[in-house]
Amino acid sequence: MKSATIDRVRIFTSGNSQAIRLPKKFRISGQTARVKRQGRSLLITPEDDAWERFDRGIAGLAGMMSDFQRAQPDATDRRRSIFP
């Protein structure tokens, strides 16, 4: 397993927000990202495109559909005739 490298980054203020300048090798695609605090650390992940999330959700549902299928009875008419 490849060992993780630790790089030093600059923290600065931008307006009323704090910002971090990321090195080129840590660039995140897209325009937005999600950030989550884990203890004293921050986890930054790219935010998925809404259509990509939708497609993954549909694909997950397709896998579940086989669980809901049941064997259909034969199409024969089993009613008794009311006329002799």
State pLDDT tens for residues 15-74.
999 999 988 998 888 788 889 999 999 999 888 777 877 888 888 777 676 666 677 777
Q: What are phi and psi of 62, to 5 degrees?
A: -60, -35
Q: What is the pLDDT of residue 48?
A: 76
Q: What is the pLDDT of residue 49?
A: 76
Q: Give the Cα separation of 58 and 35 in Å (integer).
A: 26
Q: What is the pLDDT of residue 71?
A: 72
Judged against a pLDDT cut of 80, whether residue 78 lies above it is answered with: no
Q: What is the pLDDT of residue 56?
A: 81
Q: What is the pLDDT of residue 19?
A: 92
Is residue 26 classed as helix, strand or coil in its secondary structure? Answer: helix
